[in-house]
Amino acid sequence: MLREEDLKKIARLKPGERLPWSLSHGEYFTYQVFQALLGVIDSFDQLERALFYLGSKGKSQTKKPPRYTDWTWLEYHVAYFVIIYSAIFDRALILTNEVFQLGNPPKNCKPEIIKSNTSISKEVLDALEGIERCSLKLREERNVLLHRGHSIDIAKMLNSELLDKLKLFYSVKGLSSDYAGPPFLAIAMKMERRNVKATFEKYAKDAESATRTLLDALKPIYERKKG
């Protein structure tokens, strides 16, 4: 049986690094599940970091990217959040695959493959569908970003006319360092950052709740299989 200190050592392994000891069948099962679970936990750690930066203003730097503004800072971290958020369902499928010992490599852990397996209990299926519903909320934004190569329309996401105007002001500001913009620009941006963060915090909480439901459903299966 893998001990807590063993799991901590596993968590510190670098990608591709081999285990320093051999494992029994039961220990290898625990190891595979633990690795998949770390992936799920990592998703929420990254969401938390994205939320932190969404609520803050970009720090002053000596060297900045081309046309860097408070808007590009916001846009970057919104995109980061959307990508990580969309990956939670993928990682939940991989975890389910490991707990049920379905034998699919991670790249084959597709919804239709995992959900159609007759080994999957109804409780787990329901929990997976809950996470999938969460991921669908930002699926369009993910597709715009990854498949079409366009920036996410944050103003449309939040149904905010003010964000739409701010984007225009900051676009001009990015082209000319001499352009200060209207006097309300910084205050309005700070207010809208708070609104964006609050909206994305709700997305994160919904996904966390759905994921906890999945973990509760998977726990008895894991306990039974590990012996």
Half-sphere exposure of 10 (CA within 13 A, CB side): 21
Rounded Cα distance, 199 and 188, in Å: 17
Q: For residue 164, what pLDDT is reported?
A: 92
Task: For residue 89, give the nearest of 57, 114, 122, 53 by alpha carbon.
Answer: 114
Placement of tokens 């670098």 in the chain: 14
Rounded Cα distance, 166 and 121, in Å: 49
Q: For residue 12, what pLDDT is reported?
A: 65
Q: Write out the chain's pLDDT in tens, 227 residues.
A: 556 666 666 666 665 555 555 556 667 788 889 889 999 999 999 999 999 998 887 665 555 666 788 899 999 999 999 999 999 999 999 999 999 999 999 999 999 999 999 999 999 999 999 999 999 999 999 999 988 888 899 999 999 999 999 998 888 887 777 777 788 888 999 999 999 999 999 999 999 999 999 999 999 999 998 86
Instruction: Note whether 33 and 99 are within 8 A (CB).
Output: yes
Helix and strand counts by DSSP (H, E) for the chain:
9, 0
Rounded Cα distance, 101 and 95, in Å: 10
DSSP 64: -
Identity of the amino acid at 105:
P
Instruction: Note whether 144 and 152 are within 8 A (CB).
Output: yes
Instruction: Note whether 51 and 152 are within 8 A (CB).
Output: no
Please give the model's pTM, rounded to 2 decimal places. Answer: 0.83
Instruction: List, in sequence order, the alpha helices (H) in 55-184.
Output: 70-99, 111-115, 122-136, 139-146, 154-158, 161-175
Q: For residue 25, what pLDDT is reported?
A: 63
Rounded Cα distance, 131 and 208, in Å: 9
Strand, coil or helix: 16:
coil
Q: For residue 148, what pLDDT is reported?
A: 87
Q: For residue 4, what pLDDT is reported?
A: 63
Q: For residue 226, what pLDDT is reported?
A: 81
Cα end-to-end span (Å), the chain? 10
Q: For residue 185, what pLDDT is reported?
A: 87
